[in-house]
A = this chain, B = another copy of it.
Amino acid sequence: MTDHGQPRASIVAIGDELLSGIRADANGPWLARRLSELGFRVGSILAVGDDPRRIGKTLRRALDESELVVCTGGLGPTTDDRTREAVAHAWDLELRESPEVLAEIRSRFRSRGYHEAPEPSRRMARLPEGASVLPNPAGLAPGLRLDLPGEAGGAADGVLILLPGIPREVRALLEGPVRDTLRDAFGEDLTPASVRTIHTTGIPESALVGRLEALLADVEGLEVAYRPSTLGVTLQLLGRGADADGRLDRAEERIGPVLAPYRYDAPDGDLATAVGRALNSSGLRIAVAESCTGGLVLKRLTDIPGSSGWVVGGVVAYADRIKEGWLEVPTSVLSAWGAVSEPVARAMAEGIRRRFGVEVGVGVTGIAGPGGGVEGKPVGTVWFGVAGARGTHAEKVWFPGGRAEVRERAAQHALHLVLRSVKAPGREERIRALDADPELSP
């Protein structure tokens, strides 16, 4: 695949607050991804302040280098919102009040129960001549499209899209009127990408790259991006051209077996969503006993809407006396093995399962740091237990990083263990067998 046929795009964000470090530009990176999926080659993302002379100069330069410039911010009703006048001045266009836009703004204010639109909102109806209006599904200020002539002896004609700065409105505009108008303007030159997102956890980026690179080396027209985070690595497969979907299918088939132990499916990328679906469809309920994660596993599970259907609750047993008194971890086990040990993780998982009367019990005990590490149990050591009808699985993992990172990784690992134990073939039936054969429960 070659890039060079793709139209070039630049992204410009307007606002003094972006330059004082108070707010980072939330639109630029998102727009870059969406424009590249639509078929553009993004050359730069730029943030500048509210000064109209600077805005005009910046936009002219950007259109010098790109066929498309998308600009966010400075379209609101206040006197700081100066993108419209900057564009008018830079290209020597008149600003004219649009009766249609003004009527639309007034009707929106009326529908919110106001008698009339406040005077400053009228500014939003003053458009540079020649601008076409892109209705804003999520806010008041409409987006604008201007087709601007190239420089004498310079670049070709270009399209300038002006959008408000609020991320929600940028997204709504881009997924509707902006996308349509871009397809209209660039249709034949665009080869939109097909994108597939794959979430993994439990394998570091370097290992994943090492194992997938060779498998994908000879697949043409495919870009693979890895987005690592504390919780795992998300892959993005991007294919262009006529058979993009077929290429993505073949790529996924090849890497499927390598990914299988680490992959999970969740539309929001959240492993807890995948755990919730698996528990829900199996009719299993869960309870969690947490020590070092201090409530984070339960927080992750109850983040999911509808989780009251499969989360019964849990105990944060931060002090050892709570592990003894509430989870029935024997005092002798605690003193013989220490709180961070296999028998204690097992006893916590089994204790919470029994005492909360659920099918799946989870225990997490470890050393999140910064203090508390000892010989043989350094900071980052965490023991996990998952108790089901047929018995309890326990394992130890060492996690790198500081306190927050160890806790995040440990909670993610606990969720991954639950998902695997619930989804393992035949496993579901075994866990379900609890009711039928209580003697098999630990």
Contacts and interface: CB of A to CB of B under 8 A. Distances in A.
A319 B301 CA distance: 14
Contacts of A293: 299, 302
Interface stretch (A38-46, A130-138, A384-392): A38-46
Nearest to A227: B22
A306 to B, nearest CB: 7
A18 B43 contact: no
Given A302-B294, A318-B302, A20 B36 contact: yes
Contacts of A227: 22-23
A188 to B, nearest CB: 23
Nearest to A234: B22
Nearest to A236: B22
Contacts of A322: 312-313, 356
A43 B19 contact: yes
Given A46-B45, A313-B315, A294 B305 contact: no
A317 interface: yes
Interface stretch (A27-35, A76-84, A86-94, A413-421): A27-35
Q: What's the dominant secondary structure at chain A's contact region? A: mixed
A48 interface: yes
Contacts of A34: 21
A296 interface: yes
A49 interface: yes
Interface size on A, as a range, is: 35 or more
Contacts of A294: 298-299, 301-303, 307, 311
A249 to B, nearest CB: 22
A45 B33 contact: no
A308 interface: yes
Contact of A305 (B25, B30, B58, B370): B370
B18 A29 contact: yes
A343 interface: no
A33 B46 contact: no
Contacts of A164: none
A37 B308 CA distance: 48
Nearest to A356: B322
A120 interface: no
A263 interface: no
Given A295-B314, A296-B299, A32 B20 contact: yes
A158 to B, nearest CB: 18
Contact of A44 (B47, B288, B313, B317): B47
B315 A225 contact: no
A404 interface: yes
A24 B236 CA distance: 16
Contacts of A404: 303
Contacts of A371: 305-306
Q: What are the 7 A-B residue pairs with the smallest beta carbon separation, nearest first?
A: A21-B33, A294-B302, A295-B298, A295-B295, A295-B299, A24-B29, A21-B32
